Amino acid sequence: MNILAFVGYGSEHDGALIELTYNWGVDKYDLGTGFGHLAIQVKDVYLMCDQVKRKGGVVTREAGPKKHGSTIIAFIKDPDGYPIELVGE
């Protein structure tokens, strides 16, 4: 069982929003497992993936439509191994 809490300022369409999850039975997290992922909305997911790769970053899911949807998403990794979801406008 998990408990979810959403923390942010203003509307999720106009500001930042973080979903926090409490995982029952977990008493320790290792670097890279402390949270699931962050999501950031960008104008052009394809362009952002190109820029990340050009600067030596890691794209773990190339830009493309979500399964069963039309929203364009991609996943990249930060230097600590945390995934960041890029979501198209």
pLDDT tens column, 40-66: 889 999 999 999 999 999 999 999 999
* Domain total of the chain: 1
Q: Could you tell me the residue range of the domain that residue 12 belongs to? A: 2-88
Strands 17-23, 2-8: pairing is antiparallel
pLDDT score, position 81: 82
Q: Please tell me whether the overall predicted TM-score, pTM, comes out greater than 0.75 for this model.
A: no
Q: Is 85 among the catalytic positions?
A: yes
Terminal C-alpha separation, the chain? 32
CATH number of the domain that residue 47 is part of:
3.10.180.10
Which residue among 12, 19, 85, 89 is the active-site one?
85
